[in-house]
Amino acid sequence: MLTHNLLFTISCFLGCSAEFYVIDDRIGLGREFDGIGGLSGGGATSRLLVNYEEPYRSHILDFLFKPNFGASLHILKVEIGGDAQTTDGTEPSHMHSKDEGNFFRGYEWWLMKEAKKRNPNIKLIGLPWAFPGWVGEGTQWPYFFPNVTADYVVTWIYGAKQHHNLEIDYIGIWNEKKYDPVYIKVLRDTLDRVGYTNVGIIAADGDWSIAAAMLEDPYLNDAVEVIGVHYPGTKTVKEALLTEKKLWSSEDYSTFDDDIGAGCWARILNQNYVNGRMTSTISWNLIASYYENLSFGGDGLMTADEPWSGHYVVESPIWMTAHTTQFTQPGWFYLQTVGNLTHGGSYVALTDRKGNLTVVIQTMTHNHSQCIRPPLPHFDVSPQIATFQLKGSFAHLTDLQVWYSKLDFETKKDTLFQRSSPIKVYNGSFTLKLDVDEVYTITTVNTGQKGTYPESPNSRPFPKNYSDDFTIDNPPFSEAPYFADQTGVFEYFRNSTDNGSHAFTLRQVVTERPVTWARDADQTISIIGDYSWTDLNVSCDVLIETPVTGGVFLAARIDQGGESVREAKGVFYWIYANGTYKVTNDIGGQRVLAEGLSGTREGVWYTLTLRIKGYFATGMLNGYPLWKNAVVLEPKNGWTALGTLSFEYAQFDNFEVNAE
């Protein structure tokens, strides 16, 4: 392997010239580095991860959180579940009603603990996207009673500590919604009053507009520790700089975890500071661990969406992350001598103020580093020679470690996070020949490692024959495996009124429309299975709990979820407490395929069976045909699902699907 210096010598012999860049701490330091993170939530983006079997689940977690192994993340941000659809599903609240609390719902508690196991220093952030309906007192506005909302959020922080021994470092307001200065100040007062003075408030997880308000309102300014923005395009505004607060890109990236996604991530990790003085960047999302055909399928730093097979893929964005995270830590400082390269690309330099230096250089081209948002203005990058002159505390360095990545869009043979020969420093300088779409880390830190595990199992589709009777005494998670709630929340339930065949069930538990973030359906729905399924039999025992107005459904060929769940089409087989049934082509019940009397009522268990073959669907009730040969022209394929007519209690048991 040619050394970098030899490459430079050959290049310059051929008649090239180098651009010079100074790395110097004598003029003082820049801003303090706060770390690189990932976001679980917004929503249900880690839903399938918990259902992986060992050792694969631990392997995945190591690639995300284990120091000096993979992404080695410094920050984990999670959604504070609000019982509502928040992009790819709903996450359950710790308080479905104001009279109860349960700090073991969902999987975010578990994920935070797993992250802390691997990195005790990881910073934890909580942010609400939605709120249970009672928080808004029926107003769809969580700021109407700011004390109620503040108490609700602080209760979550309390639960994290009391039940999971988790210290929450930062708390947010309301994701990408209008902020309310009164609420922010009430939240700060509430935190301080109960002793959470060390929990910082991040606001407002949207645009930069809060910065101007903070300059005009000293109390608001004092309440906010971090100005967090989403998808800033690496740019800041003067008002934000004038506040002298920490500036974070508190949600960014949102791009497929392929090589273009890796290019996007590598570019913004540098340029968020170079252009915008943002000292933390957090990826939405942490991991693509949800059904791929939901909104933004395949976004994330890596993919793990097949717990039934154990298959996962460590994608290139993991290694772009490692170029920064494995060689810096929160508490390091950027140097003031950072910037853009003459022929495209950028470099940052950081120090721990104890003699260590890390320089990260990226040369991502425009077409290979576009994020999903915002639009990226055109720029040019070309091969170049760069000489870095080390001065101040770093003038004495004689050699530096080198880690290298190349996203090769021509040959498709990437080099990812490869340790190269150390580079020699001559007279305080070193030189690199930089090609396009490369990342270099030049560092005094020698603990970096490209972690490996044996290949994960081969990919395979969701099993065609699957069943679940929900019989589990002490479930590790509140949701049944593979069910992905899209409106409402479906939880394991111990049915104390039934000591027989339905003692353990799955129950829909949200009984009031939440303060929503997306356009939740008016009906509740949880999907499961393979989006490519066409012909199948699916059956489930169902119990309507609401008299007269209650209703439940079993469905197949569901074509939409996530933020589009309100428009979902499929074959929906409904029975109602008023003794009728209906078959519809849509979740809203407007496109009726069949209807009639069923004799069904609340409080009685019924077995629904739905059969679909080609263009025809048939439904059975307790093993007897109730309707036949309803014509289904579309959709041609989709998930199976179960749900309720409204936000109401209902139970489900003995789910079974057999797909052809």
* Rg, C-alpha atoms of the chain: 27
Q: Within 13 A of 298's CA, how many CA atoms are on the CB side?
A: 10
User: In residues, how long is the chain?
Assistant: 660
The verdict on whether 251 is a catalytic residue reads yes
Nearest to 655 by CA among 511, 550, 502: 502
The verdict on whether 455 is a catalytic residue reads no
User: CA 346 to CA 417: how far, in whole Å?
Assistant: 18
Tokens encoding 525: 């729905």
Query: Tell me, what amino acid is at 65?
Result: F
CA-based angle 494:496:498, to the nearest 5? 100
User: Is residue 341 within 8 Å of residue 434, measured between CB atoms?
Assistant: yes
Q: Tell me, what DSSP letter sits at residue 288?
A: B
Nearest to 304 by CA among 36, 51, 562: 51
Query: Tell me, what amino acid is at 23?
Result: I
- Quick check: bond before 476 cis, omega within 30? no
Element containing residue 269 per DSSP (H, E): helix 259-274
Q: Which residues pair with 39 in a beta bridge?
A: 77, 284
User: Is residue 330 within 8 Å of residue 74, measured between CB atoms?
Assistant: yes
Nearest to 403 by CA among 459, 333, 324, 346: 324
b/e burial code for range 537-547 (CB count within 10 A of at least 16 → b): bbbbbbbbbbe
H-state helical runs in 166-205:
181-193
Q: Report how far apart the first and last C-alpha atoms of the chain are (Å, whole number).
A: 54
Active-site residue, selected from the candidate residues 251, 438, 563, 602: 251
Active-site residue, selected from the candidate residues 176, 225, 239, 595: 176
Residues catalogued as catalytic = 176, 251
